[in-house]
Amino acid sequence: MAGSSVPGGRIARELVGEPVTVGTYSVQPVAQLSGRYGGGGNEQGRGFGGMFRVTPTKAIVRSEDGRQEEVVIKDVTDEAISGIVRATAAVAVVCLLLTFVIRIARRNRSV
């Protein structure tokens, strides 16, 4: 018996949650679902799996008088990684400058 496979794929959907009442406001969460799934099998068995990520993106806030406002939720992971990359680049530049200055100082001392 030859192996069989279940077609895999990607998923990307916006999920909108049920509104929650807080005082005189109604708050409705919104998130992004993304991921991959697939499966396969052979004469010994079959399997199916996936990897998914749910990321909160915003909250829709409605007041009693009908006004609606969207509050965007920032992805702090992206901000943190961006800060780490900037700090690493700054350290690399400082190290290169120090190496350059030390080499010039050694050349001037030997002359």
pLDDT per position as a tens digit, 70-101: 999 987 888 899 999 999 999 999 999 999 99
| Report field, pTM of the whole predicted structure over 0.75 | no
Q: Is the pLDDT of residue 4 over 90?
A: no
| pLDDT, position 48 | 85
CB 30 within 8 A of CB 16: yes
How many angstroms separate the CA atoms of 67 and 60, rounded?
Answer: 10
Tokens at 109, concatenated:
């001392």
pLDDT per position as a tens digit, 21-74: 999 999 999 999 999 998 888 888 888 899 999 999 999 999 999 899 999 998
Question: C-alpha distances in angstroms, 51 versus 12, 35, 74, 90, 102?
Answer: 12, 5, 23, 35, 50
* DSSP 8-state assignment for residue 84: H
